[in-house]
Amino acid sequence: MLIGYFRNCPGCEVPAAAQRRALAEAGCDQVVEEWSGLEHGDEQPELHGLLARLLPGDVVMVPHLDSLGRSLPKLVQYVQRLTEAGIGLRSLAEAFDAPARLRAVETVAVAGQGGSQGADSHRRGAGGRPPKLSPDEQSDIVESVLSGRHTAAAMAKHYQVSPATISRLLAAQLADPAAPAPSRPAIGDGVAADRIVGVLPLSALEERLAIVGTSGSGKTYAAKGLIERVMAGGGRVCVVDPLGVWWGLARGADGAPPPFPVAVFGGTHADVLLSPGMGAALGRLVGTQPMACVVDVSGFGSAAALRGFMTAFTEALYAVNTEPLHLVLDEADLWAPQRTQPDGLDLLGRVEEIVRRGRVRGFVPWLITQRPAVLHKDVLSQADILVSMKLTSSQDRAAIGRWIEGQADRTEGRRILAALPQLRRGEGWVWAPGDGVLARVAFPRILTLDSSQTPRREARPGAAGLLATVDAPALGRALAGLAADGSEEQTEGLNDPPV
């Protein structure tokens, strides 16, 4: 049985669909795909499963020897395990072909063979145990096989040694870090430093982005990491934050000094206080100043107050802004819902204007939503890049389904959509049609303070626990006091031990 195996890694130069197709076209009865490059390590559970169930005589085919393990020791370990188990190994990129033990060596296809028959015959003539390979011959074998000039089978024939000897030689060579790197294609080496989350070119930061995913899946966190990259490049940024979770952008993580100068307008960590009537003024300020800022509207209370502020803010901002500005709308469906109330039509129009026609005025809109099905489709459809974190609802997955068209074949698209509910916090699929990217990635740690953490009891030592007893009269007095004047002092004493 011929089994294809490849690793679907973030940054792989060759897309998963192409690797799968190449293996299928090479005659694999079955293709097994491994996820790798995520923060959970590089354990290759699928490969372990394969090793457990394959039988001597089976052959594993990989697009590239790197598919077997990112580190050289791992690669060597797997090559040896396959060889010892009598399982053959073929690589498409290196024309590597170590046949399974049960296969007759003579039946192995020898592609690209260039060795002379004379060299074969001088060894064959000796009979018995084949002579040891000289250092020059060993180098010739390694260089020939890894460069793809000759197959392992061809070199085994040429030097009259067993294919297992060739694999051992190759494995030993690859395990030696002092050995000069053979010239070979770089499939799997694609997580480059000049790429964002390993897969996107830096220019992707200048594109319109939508980040979708369920609550707590890591949307805000991922957007913060990307916005840090924008600020590191000196970009102007304005984040509209209806939940009060972005103020940490103005602080350093773990008590470190703030890495970026970010002004916080409004909210409980305000540098500058904000009221619902200041929308137009703030729009003019943000549109004309070279600054990064968070506009925290979480304290505005009513939906009408929020909409009134945002309508005036976006109108003034659109009117005066002329320089590049990243405008991040967290919970974007609040401002551009698919089902808009009459008093929200004006705001929807403003947001749509910025997203559709704002490019010439410098706008780079980034939209974040838990519910892509609820965000207005004319707004969502304008995004150049879509990032989907964990997504469970079928309507929301359907809303992003069309993004996959043109990026993957139908079967793969369906498979990706079906797998979205299983994504872990901080993991997402990135679709960037313009850059030809469709990849699963893990978003890295941010430099600024993580101010959107889910509160945990054990993380708040000293925080009040449950009331020791239910003191109904005291609760009644506290409620009456709060109802009368909104004073929180009335709650004092509720946690006092009973006398």
CA–CA dist 231, 229 (Å, integer): 5
Burial of 273: CB neighbours in 10 Å, binned 0-12, 13-18, 19+: exposed
Backbone torsion region of residue 169, taken as left when φ is above 0, otherwise alpha when ψ lies between -120 and 50, otherwise beta: alpha
Q: Is 216 in the site for ligand ATP (CB under 6 A)?
A: yes
In sequence order, which residues have a C-beta less than 8 Å from that of residue 264 and are 6 or more positions away?
A: 247, 250, 270, 271, 272, 293, 294, 296
Judged by CB under 6 A, the residue of 151, 220, 311, 388 near ligand ATP is 220
Q: Which helix (H) or strand (E) holds 196?
A: strand 195-196
CA–CA dist 62, 45 (Å, integer): 16
Which of ligand ATP, Mg ion, none does residue 453 bind to, with CB < 5 to 8 Å depending on kind? ligand ATP
State the CB neighbour count (10 A cutoff) for residue 261: 10
Q: Is 144 in the site for ligand ATP (CB under 6 A)?
A: no
Complex with ligand ATP: residue 332 or 408, whichever CB lies closer: 332
Counting residues that bind Mg ion (by CB under 5 A) gives 1
Judged by CB under 6 A, the residue of 67, 144, 217, 388 near ligand ATP is 217
CB contact at 8 A, 361 and 334: no
Q: Is 311 in the site for Mg ion (CB under 5 A)?
A: no
Angle at which helix 72-84 crosses helix 163-175, to 10 degrees, equals: 160
Shortest separation between residue 426's beta carbon and ligand ATP, angstroms? 3
Q: Residue 28's closest CA among 36, 19, 38?
A: 19
Q: Which helix (H) or strand (E) holds 4?
A: strand 2-8
The CB-nearest residue to Mg ion is: 220
- The number of helix segments (H) and strand segments (E) in the chain equals 15, 16
Of the ranges 107-115, 135-143, 212-220, 304-312, which one interacts with ligand ATP (CB under 6 A)? 212-220
Q: Is 450 in the site for ligand ATP (CB under 6 A)?
A: yes
Shortest separation between residue 243's beta carbon and Mg ion, angstroms? 6
CB contact at 8 A, 279 and 311: yes
Which of Mg ion, ligand ATP, none does residue 324 bind to, with CB < 5 to 8 Å depending on kind? none
Shortest separation between residue 398's beta carbon and Mg ion, angstroms? 22
Counting residues that bind ligand ATP (by CB under 6 A) gives 17
For ligand ATP, what does the binding mask look like between residues 423 and 442, x meaning CB under 6 A? --xx----------------
Complex with Mg ion: residue 151 or 220, whichever CB lies closer: 220
The CB-nearest residue to ligand ATP is: 426
Judged by CB under 6 A, the residue of 116, 183, 454, 469 near ligand ATP is 454
Q: Residue 238's closest CA among 152, 325, 360, 332?
A: 325
Of the ranges 131-139, 155-163, 215-223, 385-393, which one interacts with Mg ion (CB under 5 A)? 215-223
Q: Is 337 in the site for ligand ATP (CB under 6 A)?
A: no
Judged by CB under 5 A, the residue of 214, 217, 220, 490 near Mg ion is 220
What Rg value do the Cα atoms of the chain yield, rounded?
30
Q: Is 221 in the site for ligand ATP (CB under 6 A)?
A: yes
Judged by CB under 6 A, the residue of 134, 392, 453, 495 near ligand ATP is 453
Q: Residue 177's closest CA among 335, 71, 59, 43?
A: 71
Q: Is 382 in the site for ligand ATP (CB under 6 A)?
A: no
User: Which alpha helices (H) appear in 186-248, and where do they start and end?
Assistant: 219-232
CB contact at 8 A, 435 and 420: no
For ligand ATP, what does the binding mask look like between residues 407 and 426, x meaning CB under 6 A? ------------------xx
CA 138 to chain centre: 41
Of the ranges 218-226, 359-367, 376-384, 411-419, which one interacts with Mg ion (CB under 5 A)? 218-226
Chain residues in the site for Mg ion (CB under 5 A): 220
Give the residues lining the site for ligand ATP (CB under 6 A).
Answer: 213, 215-221, 370, 425-426, 443, 445, 450, 452-454
